[in-house]
Amino acid sequence: MKKVTGIGGVFFKSKSPKDVMAWYRDHLGFDVSEWGGATFEWRDKDNPERVGQTLFTAFKEDTKKFEPATGSYMLNLHVADLPALLAQLRKDGVEIVGDMQDSEYGKFAWVMDPEGRKIELWQPPDA
């Protein structure tokens, strides 16, 4: 089974998300969108017609998005078939946080790695 197909995003906590994203814009050339993060587009190597995205986003220091992890960052990973992967992860005894969510942006689920980092799994809508 094809599992992770790429990095969907890097999310991190910041004392001042707007200021830190402005720093990335001003000093490293990130194209920061109105919503506050930067999006990098790329092509799928197996299907070059398919465009993928990787997000780079700062969140407020007190965000609850990373819980139950206590770290300052969270990875978002592209997956090919989220329901099938979740079934396999459950069989493997991996800790799954909450229920899978389905939205206009795709399917999302969260797992904990063995050292307590929360990982967001994302199946984009066209995957």
Contacts 24+ apart (CB under 8 A), 62-66: 63/13, 65/11, 66/11, 66/13, 66/118
Residue 79 lies in a domain: yes
Domain tally for the chain?
A: 1
* Local mean pLDDT, 10-residue blocks, the chain (127 residues): 89 96 94 95 87 94 94 94 95 95 96 94 85
Rounded to two decimals, what is the model's pTM? 0.88
Residue 81 covered by a domain: yes
What is the model's pLDDT at position 1?
74
The CATH number assigned to the domain holding 61 equals: 3.10.180.10
